[in-house]
A and B are shown apart, each in its own frame.
Chain A
Amino acid sequence: MRGSVWDVIGPNLTLLVISLAAFAAVIYALFLIGSRASVRWQGWLRYGVFLGPALLLLLVGLIYPALRTIWLSFMDKRSENFIGFDNYIWAFTIPEIQIVLRNTVLWVIFVPIVSTLIGLAIAYMTDRMKRASVVKSLIFMPMAISFVGASVIWGFMYNFEPNEDKVEIGLLNAILRGVGIEPRNFLLEAPGNTFFLIAVLIWIQTGFAMVILSAAMKNVPDEIVEAAMLDGASNWRRFVRVTLPMIRGTVVVVLTTITIGTLKVFDIVRTMTGGNFQTNVIANEMYAQSFRQLNYGQGSALAVILFLGVVPIIWYNVRQLRLERTER
């Protein structure tokens, strides 16, 4: 067995080394030519070397495919005939897909709001705490874990033992049994199961929200906080009247960032339930339609629906950036 592993790794390693060397050599050569070229030549060459590769990749690899997907969403299964809005009508009228859309809405509502609320609470609690960094690191840690890894971790937490005579090895069901509640199969029963999947992403995203919000709170000037203290503001009032208004912009950034990530959630659903038991979401169904059913029309329509979900955010972000730039 070990021998055959090296048979695969050997050529792969060769490809890796050659590719990296080739990449370095090309760039080195371009710089060599560029730095020796005449001034006039350089004026043109610099665009080709510095801007060209990235723009070409974005054009061919991102913009063209995106436009083509939009076009494919109006075509049939094999992209041969134009069928108008049929794929969209399919998406919005088939009960199965309606559940997919409903679940995606549930994810997009609950993950950003709950993660931000918990993140906000922890950021505030640890704002003036000594040695807060250990606490924050632990809550932030899930950010480094892959969604697949998190799915295994939580699959084990949710583990259900159907045989009543055996012990529960999943922590949650063991607790339930311990306090005399009937253990349950968390991932099987709709609609609760969607919320147990949502909890996994909240577990991951809370750390992100906490870190960003905590940094924003550190920027609230001490004088303002102290003035509020002098006025006799309670902790809660100080939070609502002083801290929250001052970090409102950051809260919006955190909410939108998590929303974008949540819209595309795919790994968790695919790994934990495979989209079964009424837990499916758009990104997973899009993958199934495109790469398992090989129905490019319906798969593309779902991808476009996903895209339409982020369009308002793109619009908002671009507007904010323009405002920032004109202020400078």
Chain B
Amino acid sequence: MADTASLRLSPTQKKRAKDIFSSPIASAAAIVIAVLWTIPTFSLLVTSIRPETDINSSGWWTFFANPNVSFENYEKVLFVGTGVNPPMFQYFFNSLAVTIPAVIFPITLAVFAAYALAWFDFKGRDAIFFTIFALQVVPLQLTLVPLLQLFSQGLVIGGVTLIPSLGITGTYIPIWIAHTIFGLPLAIFLLHNFLRQIPRELIEAGRVDGANWFTMFTKIVLPLSIPAIASFLIFQFLWVWNDLLVGLTFGAGSKSVAPMTVRLAEMVGTRGSGWEVLTAGAFVSIVVPLIVFFALQRYFVRGLLAGSVKG
């Protein structure tokens, strides 16, 4: 390779040199790594559609010599509960019910705050912005115990009740609020960076036209920020859907609000959950994010590139 490059190159030679640098060895190596990376997930999918006896008596790779397909595992895990445990179907609904508001609430509040921080002029604006930026990486663990107590007992300082006990423990509400709080710093930071790029003339023209801060938001700012919102939406969706810690802590151990991740983790720890239910259950829980991921990968990558620190 070195001797082709030591010559002065004409455009066609340059192009050829470029092709050489996309060397077949490197490409082959990349393909091999990609295949290795996919095997674990692939084995889960294959196993989940094999009959129980096959799974336990032969490796999943023998499926291709002896393709024996069965959807019994899915039927069992989705619609048949075990003893006190409801079927996965109910947890699937819980995951949806947890995720939808836990995505909508923080994005809405974050667009508002980002708009204010980007376009309102007031003292202390930078201080607030830097604080929010720093809050992004504060570990959730640092807030769990007091936040949970806040939900169950309210907030009383020196005998004065600042926030009463709300009686919402065991519903979705604490999970929604917790996810909203934890999602806000990153959302505000990303959207703020985006909203600041709106040309100042556009905002000033709006002011001159007599549009007030509220109509300006709905008429100018919101339509312009749709791409940034889309990026963060996918981010927050994957984050909430895949979360275990928040669901476990703020679900208060209630089976009627626990998301799928909580149930799946519980199944792993239970004797008697064989691979036939575990693989099918795991696939049910990862299929939605996988669809979202493959369909909207472009936006997801954009979101990642815009700001890649999350607490």
Residues of A within 8 A of B (CB): 1-2, 4-5, 8-9, 12-13, 15-16, 19-20, 23, 27, 31, 34-35, 39, 42, 46-47, 49-51, 53-55, 57-58, 60-66, 68-70, 72, 118, 122, 124-130, 132, 134-149, 151-157, 159, 166-169, 171, 174, 203, 206-208, 211-212, 215, 226, 229-235, 253-254, 256-257, 260-261, 263-264, 266-267, 270-272, 274, 283, 286-287, 290-291, 296, 299-300, 302-304, 306-307, 310, 313-314, 317-318, 321-322
Contact = CB atoms under 8 A, between A and B. Distances in A.
Interface string B235-278: 00010011111000100000011000100110011000001001
A144 B33 contact: no
B43 A54 contact: no
Contact of A152 (B34, B241, B264): B264
A167 to B, nearest CB: 6
Nearest to A282: B141
B75 to A, nearest CB: 12
B261 A146 contact: yes
Per CB-CB distance, the 9 closest pairs between chain A and chain B, nearest first, are A146-B242, A144-B293, A65-B146, A54-B113, A61-B181, A128-B22, A65-B143, A34-B214, A152-B282
Contact of B143 (A31, A47, A69, A136): A69
Nearest to A307: B142
B173 interface: yes
Chain B interface extent, by class: 35 or more
A317 B268 contact: no
A150 B112 CA distance: 36
B190 interface: no
29 contacts: A1-B79, A5-B89, A5-B90, A12-B93, A23-B104, A31-B214, A42-B212, A42-B214, A46-B214, A61-B150, A64-B146, A68-B145, A128-B22, A138-B38, A139-B33, A141-B294, A145-B242, A146-B241, A148-B265, A156-B44, A157-B43, A169-B55, A169-B275, A229-B5, A229-B9, A230-B8, A235-B26, A264-B139, A314-B138
B244 A54 contact: no
Interface string B292-304: 1110010001001
B198 interface: no
B309 interface: yes
A142 B290 CA distance: 9
Interface string B109-126: 110110111001010000
Contacts of A151: 265, 268
B163 A65 contact: no
B112 A54 contact: yes
A147 B244 contact: yes
Contacts of A168: 59
A135 B38 CA distance: 10
Contacts of A69: 142-146
B134 interface: yes
Contacts, number: 378
B139 A167 contact: no
Given A232-B2, A299-B145, 16 more contacts: A13-B97, A23-B105, A46-B214, A50-B112, A53-B112, A58-B181, A60-B163, A61-B181, A65-B150, A69-B145, A145-B290, A231-B6, A235-B1, A263-B139, A303-B145, A314-B138
Looking at chain A's contact residues, the main secondary structure is helix
Given A8-B256, A12-B172, A16-B172, A211 B181 contact: no
A54 B109 contact: yes
A148 B261 contact: yes
Contacts of B214: 31, 34-35, 42, 46, 49
A1 B243 CA distance: 28
A317 B257 CA distance: 37
Contacts of B1: 234-235
A264 B282 contact: no
Contacts of A58: 132, 135, 181, 184-185
B71 interface: no
Nearest to B2: A232
Interface in B17-59: 17-18, 21-23, 26-27, 29-31, 33-35, 37-41, 43-44, 47, 55-59
